[in-house]
Structure 1
Amino acid sequence: MGILWALLSVILVSAAQLTLRQAMLQLPPAPAPELFLPHLLHAAPGSLPLLFGLLGYLASMVCWYLALHRLPLYRAYALLSLSYILVWVAAMTLPGWHEPFSWRALFGVVVIVCGVMVIFTPQKKR
């Protein structure tokens, strides 16, 4: 059950990251509070994705809490690394994002997948 909670956390945090990125494209810069705060208070474009992104992070943390109670830490964090892969693929494939493909990034993804596989491969008893 711990793996399911961890995977749900990965999906939620990945969706939250993508949603927050979308919000940041629509919101004025945060260092300009005279623009940023009124923008949020009037529910201008970007406010709703910001709210959903933050709620997604909150839901992800609840799932993460439940996962950490059921999984060893080294396995839980290995699964969390899958979020990088999901966000990378989504940023390249979602309409309007136009993130470029990179062989170097693909190599990094392969390394992450290999690392997760090594961690989850059952050990032979001696």
Structure 2
Amino acid sequence: MGVFWALLSVIIVTASQLALRHAMVLLPPVSSLQLLAHYLLTGQAGTLALFCGLFGYLLSMVCWFFALRRLPLARAYALMSLSYILVWAAAIALPGWHEAFSWRSLAGVVAIVAGVWVIFRRKAKT
């Protein structure tokens, strides 16, 4: 059950990161606090994505709490690293994001997957 909660946390935090990135593209920079406050208070473009992303982080932390109660820390954090892969793939695949594919990044993704596999593989019986 701990793996379920950890993977649910990964999915939610991935969606939250994408929502926050979307919000940051639409909202004015933080350097203009008055304009940013106006956007947020009047519900301009990006406001919903910002609040959904922040709420998603909160929900992800609740799932993470349940995961940490049921999984060893090393395994839980190995699963959390899958979020990096999902965000990377989504940023490349989603239309309008204009993230470039690179073989170097793919090598990093392969390294993460290999690390998670090593941590989760079963020990041979002796």
Q: Please classify the TM superposition score into its range, dividing by the shorter chain length.
A: over 0.9
Query: Offset at 1:121?
Result: 0.7
Query: Which deviates the most, 24-33 or 66-75?
Result: 24-33
User: Is 1:45 aligned to residue 41 of structure 2?
Assistant: no
Name the residue aligned to 1:27: 27
Letter in 2 for 1:54: L
Name the residue aligned to 2:101: 101
Q: Distance in 2 between matches of 1:102 and 1:58?
A: 32
Name the residue aligned to 1:68: 68
User: Is 1:121 aligned to residue 113 of structure 2?
Assistant: no
Offset from partner CA, 1:8-65 (integer Å, 9 cap, x none): 0000000000000000000000121111111100001110000110111111000000
Offset from partner CA, 1:68-120 (integer Å, 9 cap, x none): 00000000000000000000000000111121001000000000000000000
1:71-82 pair list within 5 angstroms? 71-82=71-82
Please give the TM-score of this superposition, normalised by the length of structure 1: 0.97
Q: Distance in 2 between matches of 1:70 and 1:85?
A: 24
Q: Distance in 2 between matches of 1:123 and 1:14?
A: 30
The residue matched to 1:69 in structure 2 has which SS?
A: helix
Name the residue aligned to 1:13: 13
Q: Structure 2 stretches of 5 or more lacking a match?
A: none
Q: Percent identity?
A: 63
Deviating beyond 6 angstroms after TM superposition, the runs of 4 or more aligned structure 1 residues are none
Q: Distance in 2 between matches of 1:68 and 1:57?
A: 16
The residue matched to 2:70 in structure 1 has which SS?
A: coil
Please give the TM-score of this superposition, normalised by the length of structure 2: 0.97
Query: Offset at 1:124?
Result: 2.6
Give the superposed CA RMSD: 0.8
Task: State the number of aligned residues.
Answer: 126
Letter in 1 for 2:10: V
